[in-house]
Structure formats: structure tokens, C-alpha cells
Structure 1
Amino acid sequence: MAKTLEAHDKLIREIFEGSYQFEIPDYQRPYAWTTEQAGELFDDLMSAMQDARVSGEASQYFLGSIVLIKNDRDPKSSVVDGQQRLSTLTMLFAVLREAMPHAADDITDFLYKKGKVSLGEKNEYRLTAREEDADFFRTNIQEPGGIAQLVANTDKLEDSRLRYRENATLLLAKAKALPPADLIALWMFLANDCSLVVISTPDLEAAYRIFSVLNNRGLDLAPIDIIKAQVLGMIRTTAGEAKSRTYAKEWSRIENALGRDAFGELFGHIRTIYAKQKQRATLVKEFQEHVTEYTAPIDLIDKVIKPYAEVWDFVREADFEATEYAETINEHLSWLNRVDFKDWVPPALVYFKRFRQKPKLLAEFFQSLERLTYFLLVTKAGINTRLEAYAALTKEIEPVAFDGGLAALQTLGLTDKQKREFVNALDGDIYRNLPKARMALVLRLESLVRAPGVQLQDAVSLEHVLPQTPPEGSDWLHWFSDEDERDSWTHRLANLVPLDRKKNSSASNYNFTKKKDAYFRGKGKASPFVLTQEVRSENEWTPTVLVERQQRLVGVLKKHWNLAVASGNTTSVEASLGTN
């Protein structure tokens, strides 16, 4: 009966002389260690070797743990955690072989078992890299002379292959800088006095659970890798090895196009599209339970992952291309992406996937989605409220009969009560009450008051024109002699302007005339922000100025988000703002 878990402390010699044939599965990320990590491994080994030599006592140096999927008697071992370390150790063996030709045969045994040509045997490599790197790794690292060839290679390399060359170059230089006696001592120490804890289990999910407990680095395996392994395994079982390899390459293509982090985020959004509720278990478990195409793995890739990955790229980068409305769509997407939560993404993906060929509908949808999202942001809706709203919106988009018209999307509409709540929040103390929204709001307002097509600068901070702590004897205390009135205006929209950070630090809490000079002097003189330029036209900064400015600026946002309420339902705040 196969054991469910084994863990042993094993010397490097035991590990690399035949007990294991390590294979890096296709679902693993590319080799990613940098020269910093490879150099640290080499330096740690040298330091430990020298300490042992000085003390004269044999001591075992622990190199960490690896997690494998492995059956009892079969040496083949699929690496769940430890790819980076095992690959770098293999590279170090090759470097030492290159630096010590007299020990080449001994070291080669750690790289592969030589096959007997007379018997038609092939070499049995101790480590096989991911399929797309396996031949490169064999030729340039494991085979004799390969490491020197790799270091001398001037071809343009990318990703894992570039990391291999960079680390090989570093390790070879470090090894060749050592005296012969230190080289031999390092090799003997590495082979005989260094160990790894080898944890093996025959089950992928069990291996992943062990990995999750032992590691919090997140460097190697992620939930998307578990899903990938399971999906490709199902394709292999139902459609054959060739089909599985084809889809493994397609999966890698999609992941590389998006980037690993964004690809991982996409799976969370897909889960939410189907589950329509807060995640309560692991992503792997809930993806299996809720995503209906999971049991049809080819459909899962072709009809779910691939099309959603394409629209997710448009959504997160705000770079949709179309013959019309593309600029409008991307503008709304860019402002959605400034919000500090991403709960709006699932319905956005569903709508975009269905109506990608109808840009006019997309423009109308994302305009309304921006309004709903900023309403939830500004009114500080909790995560459960947000999830319920966006889940309801997703349900409204999904019916086959839905033609894309906004009239059927009731969730996108705001009631008069919600509009009043939105306007009141915009008219209030946004700096202290809405720390997660204030920058996005001021910049959204800036984008609306500037000329169309003018690029919006991003490297900004928010400046209080009326300072938060005005100095004694200043004009500020003369204009705002009532402390409560001063406090009520300090943190509202009318008193906040965007500045580049250099100008902000110089403005401080000067008197108004001097502060205006700080805003506009120096390189470029005029601030690139219209809201800030408006300050220059004022001779004084009094409550009267701020009342007019507040009404006008909140009115701009109110008009943009269509927050006018039905006649007869207007609050006193809205009455002061007008109907714009």
C-alpha cells in the first residue's frame, strides 16, 4: 500500500546519485532565481564550508526542503516545491565540473547517469526542466562543456533561459576565483555534508497542502498551477498526450501574455462570475465546484479562460481597440481601475465578452458601471454590499435573451435616495472621510474640467489651499476667524488641488499670495492641473470663494454621473448645487 507522506533528511550525494529523477512539470512557473539568490546560495555554502574547516568538526549544512509527488519505488519525482533550488544546485554541479576537469567523472554522476552506448541506453538525467526548457537545460548545463558554451552565448535570451545564463556566468566566475584546494573542499562539502529534507506524497493536492504549510514565500506554486495540472491531466486522459501538450502551450501563452499575477487574478474573477458570492474555501476547491466547464477541460480553456483572458487584458490595461467609442470605453476603464477594489471586474468581463463587437453598448455600460462603482466607493459600501450588487448585475447580464440594453440592468440604476447619498458624500469632508477615494475623485474632477484630449498627469499629491494648521497672524485666520467654519472647509473638494510632489513640499502653509507663487514658479511655471491654475486667478481665498467653487465642482461631478433627482425630491444640499 502506498504511503501518503514521507519526509527524510537526505545528503546531496544520496539525492543526486540515483534515488530520484526530478521532473519539473509543465504547470510550474519558469526558472526565476536571479543572480542575487544564486550568489547568496554560493556564498552561504562557502561560509558554512569554511566554518566546518576551521572547527575541524563534521557538521551537516541544511539547504531547505523540497516537496515531491513520488510513488514508493519509482525514482521519477515531480517537483511541487524546490524547482529553483534544485535547478541552481544542478547549475553549480556543472560549474564545478567545468572548473575542476580532473573531477569531471565524479561530478557528472550528479548530473546524469551515463547510458551504455553498446546497449542502446540513453543518459538518465537527474533533473529534467520544464518541457520548453528541457533541451536547452540539457545542452547548456548538464552536458560536458555546456556551461562554458552558455556563458559565452551572446544570443538574445529571455525569461528562464536568460536567468540560466546570468546565474551560470556568476557561479562560474565565483568558482574560478577560488584556489584549487577551496574548489575541492567546496565540492566535497556540498556532496557529503549538505542535505535537503525531501517530502514526498503520491497526490498532487496533498503535496500542495504541504507546500502551503511549509512556505509563505509564494515563489513556486500557486492555485492556478494546481488547476493547470488537473486540467491538463484530464485532457491527457480523455484526448491523449499530444492534445495535452498543445493545450499546455496554449495555457503558457495566455499566462505569459497577461503576466503571472494578472493571470492569477483572472481565475479569482472567473470563480466570482460563476459563484456570485464571497470566496469561503480555497480557490482550487471553489473553481472546481462552481465553474461548470471544469469537467470539460478543453471547453474550459477554449470557451472560458481564453476569451476572458483577452477581455481581462483590455479591462485592466484600458486599451480596447475599435473603430468607434474606443477612447470613451478606455477612459471609463481607466477610472474604474483607480478604485481600490476590483469587485466590479466580474460583471465587466461578462458584459465585455458578450458584447465585444458592439462598442456603443460597451461605452454606455462602462459609463454606468463607473457611476455605480464610484457610488459604492464614496458611500463606503462594505465588501458584502459590493459583492451582492455586482453579483446581481452579473445575473442580469447572463440571460441568453439579454440584448445588451441598459434598461434591463436595474442594478446599474441609482435611486433618488442613492443619488442624494452620493451627492452629500461628494459635498462633505472627502479628505478625512474618504481616504481611499479622495485622490481618484480629485483627479476625476480634474479630467472633467480640462480640455478634451489633454493628457492627465499622474505623479501628484493633494494640497490643501487653506492649510490644515494655518500659522498665527496669517491671512487664513483673518479670512476664517471662526474655527468651526475653517474646519468645515479645509478638507472639502473646493479646498483641495492636485500638485506635483516637488511643488507640494515647497508650498507648505504659506500665506495665500506666497502659496500661489509656490504653485506656479520654477520649471514650467504653470501647474499642469486646471484645478490648481484656477487658484491663481483668485485674489483671496475666503468662505465666499469656496462656496461658489464647491457648488461648481460638485456640480461637475453631479452632471457627469447624472445625479439629478426627480423634481420635488431635492435636498437642501442639492438645491444649493443646482441641477447641473
Structure 2
Amino acid sequence: MSKLNIDQKSVRALFSEKKADFLIPDYQRPYAWGEKECQTLWDDLFLFAFPDNDCDKFNSDSDEYFLGPIVTFKNDDGKMEIIDGQQRLTTLMLLLRAFYEKYGSMKNDKAVKTSKFIEQCIWKTDEFGDPDKSALKIDSEVATDKEKGEFLNILKTGTLSDCEKSSYANNYRFFQQKIVDFLNTYPDWFSFFPIRIMNNCILLPIEAESQDTALRIFSTLNDRGKPLSDADIFKAQFYKYYSAKGEREVFIQKWKDLEVLCDSIFHPITGTPMDELFTRYMYYERAKQGIKSSTTEALRKFYERNAYSLLKNDQTFENLIDLANFWNDVQNQNVERFSDRVLRRLFVLNYAPNGMWTYFVSVYYMANRDSDGLLNDDRFYSFLNKITAFIWAYAVTNPGVNALRTPIFAEMINIVTGQPVRFSDYLFDTQKLQNAFDNYTFSNNRAITKAMLTWWAFQNSSQELLSLESVLEIEHIYARNRQEKEHSLSNPRNVESLGNKVLLEKRINIRASDYRFSDKVKYYTGFENNRKQKKEGTKIKELTDLAANATDFTESDIVERNAKIILNFITFMHNNDLLCED
């Protein structure tokens, strides 16, 4: 069990400790507090230090104001790396330095004592308590923060130039002005404010014995902002590697560009967009290592092996950039990279019943790309067809994404070793597959329902490629409202049959009162309303063909279409060699 050192301390007690040597590590995010947060802090501290706007109502022996936790761990250099509390700690340092700058010109006894206390908070001191003003008690190595030097210079010198516009500089100026205003308004109270901040404002330092423990604590405690992601930790390893090569600035710019790109591509349910990129790449590296276990390690656990050796080379970072660019072109349906038939397959996969396909395709891309980052169109098209057929059938016969891991992880290894994807140990029996589809309830809340309808829509060679930004919903061709009013279906369950469902753009809002097929036709084909406004029809080709050629859609049509969809999917499975031989 990990040990923790937890001991509530005042600002002064924590900052002035001889062992206090804080480090904002390279993987942290840049300082982000602005005037709004500083104003809130100032107001809160003022109300605490002077209750009811009365200096004498403060009880220095018992009054306390809790500023929050500071989560740290001692690194190999003996410095206390700050995992949580960076923003508060940095701002408090700026505030104390602004007070010190004002007290430096005062010679009365209280000012001298206060200055001494602040010195012990900001600078390292000798055995007599005198400061070494070249040795701060806090340092910053934030990789993506080009302005951290301004922070350190402010603490060392207390001065600013007009050209310094960082958050550090702006907040320091803010506190300087607030102190001037306070001194002019409450000159008799001035000596009390910094003392009450240092002595009676409380922090809860939590010192963990390792970075991993500290990060877990942070994730548990943090409810104010974004917790550190796995990608933040990985960034630190890359930063150290490229800094040692003298390529720090180049790396920082590439990392920022990659973050922006990932933010536009990935929208994971958990974790950050950058975490998602590292996850997709992880499966490629897992496959290269021959790992086919269905139990997947946590992302950070995988990359931290052998002291993060995987992150300490040029190839990994360049591979990540290349993989992100690939998925960007998928997202943007880049016709220069992909043929129309490949883009159509990728569109269908975007509606897959689970996200495993993205890992599968990532491994395929990394293993089969040429020197220009391109894939052989014929082989890629065949691969996409095969995994679509397999994943769709598996979702019906073996529900649950975890079940899919076993066959797919094995095929990932085949991909990186140059073997064809066959799913040899997981072929489907034709009759059993037929029965599974016949007995499956394709309810709207099951992802495979929309997945099957998307696959079916694009089996029509005339179906145009739709934008991935299209919002598609499930439409009942024979309206549920019609069954409620007419009761014309001999088997009421047919209204929820796959044969009665089709994709339809969300923007096409068919009124509940228009429940007959003849009423719906105008919505499918498009029409002009009473205000002469053109209402665009659907881009789903099956629906426009149906609207043009049918006068009604009845129960026999539902049954026939249902059988046709399933038969065509069985044929699709056969064409992709995924059925057992008789």
C-alpha cells in the first residue's frame, strides 16, 4: 500500500520549510489563471482577513481559511513535483512577491518582520534565515510554457518591463495595483493582510511516494478543472528526449500542432483526444510485441515499460503524427488519399456497433502504409469489407465489445507479420448465423441496428457518399403511429423489424400526423411549403427510389425487405470468406 504524508499547514509553514523545493514539471499545462481568478482570490482573502470589513473581528488564534490541497511527490532529484495545486501555488507566490515589493520600501518594525517572513517563503535561506535571492523555492519546467521565464524573473527581481504580457506578468501587475489601492484605502490595516494570509490561510499538502500515486490522488480529488491526462505524462518523456537532442522548440511546436489536430478529430467518451491517439497507436505496438491477450493494460502502464523506452525515439513521435494525419483524412473524407469505394466503406464503419474497428484500422495502416503514407486501394478495400462483415456478424452472435477483442487481437498480430486477415478460428456457420439474425431483436437502442441499416444503404451502388457530419436517425417506413391507428399488421412485431427501418436525416422532421406512406413521400423527395420555402429531401437512395416507385409500404413489403437484407448480408459474409464450408 502506498504511503502518504498528509499534514495541514499554513502558507507560511509550508513555504518556509527548509526542505521546500517545489517543481512544476514539464508535463503540466501552462499557467492559466487570469484576472477573474485573481480577483476572486483577492476578494475571498480580504473578506477572511477583515470579517464584516472590520480589522478587529479577526481571531489570529483560531480563524482559518482553507485554500485547498497541494498534491506532490518527491522525484529522483529530491524536488517536490506538483501534481495538483499548480495554479494556486503559482498565484500565491505572485501575491506574496507583490506584497514583498511594497514592503521593501518600508522601514518600520512590522514591515521588516513581514518582509523577513515573505523572504523565507519565496527564497531558500541559510541557517540564519537570510535569503539567497538566486535560489527560488519554486521552479517551472512546463514544456509548452514559453513564458515561464517571466514567472521566475518576477519572483527573483520583482520588476517587469512593459513588453511582458504573460499571465504571470498581468496577474502580478493586478496584485500590485490591488495592494496600492488597499494601502491608500486602509493604511492602518496594511500590516495585517499579508501576515493573516501567511499564518491563517491553510493548505493541505499531500505528499505521495510516487508519481503514479500522486496522479491517482489528483484524479480523485480534482473537481475544478481538467486532470492531468496520460498524454501529459507522455509529453514529458518526449520533451526530455528532444531537449537532450537540442530540438526542444521544434518538438514543442509539433506537439501543439498535434494537440490541435487531435482535438478536431477525436471525441472520446473518456480521456483526452491525445489519449485516444496514443491508444490507437498502442495496439500497433502491442501487435508488434505479439500480445494477443484480451486483457488490455492501462494506457500509461503500457507506455511506461522499461522507463518509457518506447517514447524515447524519433520513430514513435513521427508515427503518432502520421497516424493522426491518416485519421484526419478519414474524418475529412480526403478524395486524394482514398478512393470513393474506400470512403464508402469507412463511412459504414463509422456506424460500427463498437469502436474496436478504429484500433484494427490503425494497426492495418501502420503496418501497410508505403513511404508516402498511402495504402494499396484494392487490399485496403478488401480489408475494410472483411472487418465490416465480421464485426457486424459478431455483434449479433456474440454481443459485447470485450468478446470481440479475442479474434481481433489475434488478427492484429497477423497484420504486422504480413499474414492475411482470415479469422480462421472464428468462421460462422451459415444456418446458425441465419437463425441468429432471424431471432435478433433489432431495437433502436441497439447500435447494431443503425449499423446494419447503414451497411444496407451503402449496398446500393447508387447511394452517394454522405458527410460524416450527417446526423442520421432510424425511420419507420410503416409508421408506428399508423399501426396504432389502423392495426393493420397481422404481426405487430413487424413494425420494429429491420425490414421496416431505414436511415433518415434528422433534419427531415416528419409530422406524427403524416403517418401514411403517401403522406411521407413528400418528405422523402422534398417539397415546397406554404411559405414557398424549399424543403430538401433525403439523400438515402433507397428511400427516394421507394418514394418514386411505390404507392404504399405494407406488411408484406416489410417481411420481404427484412428477408432481403439478411440474405444479402449472408451473401456478403460468404463473399468475404467468413462462412464455414458445408
Per the normalisation by structure 1, the TM-score is: 0.72
Q: 1:349 and 1:177 mapped to 2: Cα distance?
A: 59
Q: How does 1:425-440 map to 2 (within 5 A)?
A: 425=437, 429-432=441-444, 435-440=446-451
CA contact (8 A) 1:558 1:564 kept: no
CA contact (8 A) 1:5 1:200 kept: yes
Query: Larger deviation: 437-446 or 60-69?
Result: 437-446
Q: 1:309 and 1:216 mapped to 2: Cα distance?
A: 31
Match of 1:463 in 2: 475
- The offset of 1:37, in angstroms, is 6.1
Match of 2:313 in 1: 301
CA contact (8 A) 2:479 2:495 kept: no
Give the residue type in structure 2 aligned to 1:66: I
Q: 1:559 and 1:365 mapped to 2: Cα distance?
A: 17
Give the residue type in structure 2 aligned to 1:9: Q
Aligned pair partner of 1:83 in 82, 86, 95: 86
Aligned pair partner of 1:487 in 487, 493, 503: 493
Q: How does 1:500-515 map to 2 (within 5 A)?
A: 500-501=506-507, 503-504=509-510, 506-507=511-512, 510-515=515-520
Aligned pair partner of 2:142 in 130, 139, 163: 130
Match of 2:535 in 1: 525
Aligned pair partner of 2:399 in 381, 401, 405: 381
Q: Is 1:64 paired with 2:54? A: no
* Residues 502-529 of structure 1: CA deviation (Å, up to 9, x unaligned): 614x346644444445664545323233
Cα distance change, pair 464–353 in 1 and its aligned pair in 2 (3 A)? same
Q: Secondary structure at the match of 1:192?
A: helix
Q: Is 1:277 paired with 2:290? A: no
Cα distance change, pair 93–368 in 1 and its aligned pair in 2 (3 A)? farther
Match of 1:369 in 2: 387
Give the residue type in structure 2 aligned to 1:135: G
CA contact (8 A) 1:22 1:79 kept: yes
* Residues 71-123 of structure 1: CA deviation (Å, up to 9, x unaligned): 89x984221222233234445557778999978995985895499xxx99636
Q: Secondary structure at the match of 2:82?
A: strand
* Residues 13-57 of structure 1: CA deviation (Å, up to 9, x unaligned): 334457533221112234456777666655554554565756644
CA contact (8 A) 1:67 1:80 kept: yes
- The offset of 1:545, in angstroms, is 3.2
Q: 1:109 and 1:532 mapped to 2: Cα distance?
A: 77
- The offset of 1:65, in angstroms, is 1.1
Match of 2:214 in 1: 207
* Residues 313-358 of structure 1: CA deviation (Å, up to 9, x unaligned): 4237615869664554444344334335333344433321121014
Query: Larger deviation: 84-93 or 313-322?
Result: 313-322
Match of 1:409 in 2: 421
Q: 2:272 and 2:342 mapped to 1: Cα distance?
A: 24
Cα distance change, pair 325–223 in 1 and its aligned pair in 2 (3 A)? closer
Gaps spanning 5+ residues in structure 1: where? 154-160, 571-580
Cα distance change, pair 245–201 in 1 and its aligned pair in 2 (3 A)? farther
- The offset of 1:398, in angstroms, is 2.8
Q: Which protein has the bigger helix share? A: 1
Cα distance change, pair 550–176 in 1 and its aligned pair in 2 (3 A)? farther
Cα distance change, pair 36–191 in 1 and its aligned pair in 2 (3 A)? same
Q: 1:560 and 1:169 mapped to 2: Cα distance?
A: 69
- The offset of 1:386, in angstroms, is 0.7
Match of 2:273 in 1: 262
CA contact (8 A) 1:94 1:147 kept: no
Q: Secondary structure at the match of 2:362?
A: helix
Q: 1:564 and 1:230 mapped to 2: Cα distance?
A: 43
Q: How does 1:322-333 map to 2 (within 5 A)?
A: 325-333=338-346
Cα distance change, pair 529–276 in 1 and its aligned pair in 2 (3 A)? same
CA contact (8 A) 1:22 1:77 kept: yes
Match of 1:7 in 2: 6
- The offset of 1:249, in angstroms, is 4.6
Q: Secondary structure at the match of 1:315?
A: helix
Per the normalisation by structure 2, the TM-score is: 0.71
CA contact (8 A) 2:237 2:311 kept: no
- The offset of 1:417, in angstroms, is 1.8
Match of 1:157 in 2: none
Q: Is 1:194 paired with 2:201? A: yes
CA contact (8 A) 1:336 1:373 kept: no
Q: 1:17 and 1:390 mapped to 2: Cα distance?
A: 57
* Residues 146-193 of structure 1: CA deviation (Å, up to 9, x unaligned): 49755xx5xxxxxxx6x7689789989998998844995765543332
Q: 2:522 and 2:314 mapped to 1: Cα distance?
A: 60
Q: 1:202 and 1:89 mapped to 2: Cα distance?
A: 25
Q: 1:140 and 1:561 mapped to 2: Cα distance?
A: 68
Match of 1:499 in 2: 505
* Residues 461-505 of structure 1: CA deviation (Å, up to 9, x unaligned): 323233335476x4x43xx252x2x3223342433341324614x
CA contact (8 A) 2:472 2:503 kept: no
Q: 1:533 and 1:542 mapped to 2: Cα distance?
A: 17
Q: Is 1:348 paired with 2:364? A: no
Match of 2:128 in 1: none
Identity %: 20
Q: How does 1:106-125 map to 2 (within 5 A)?
A: 106=115, 109=119, 112-113=122-123, 122=134, 124=136
Cα distance change, pair 306–261 in 1 and its aligned pair in 2 (3 A)? farther
Q: 2:353 and 2:180 mapped to 1: Cα distance?
A: 51
Q: Secondary structure at the match of 1:496?
A: strand
Q: 1:566 and 1:231 mapped to 2: Cα distance?
A: 43
Give the residue type in structure 2 aligned to 1:524: K
CA contact (8 A) 2:22 2:82 kept: yes
* Residues 338-383 of structure 1: CA deviation (Å, up to 9, x unaligned): 3353333444333211210142333332332233223333445333
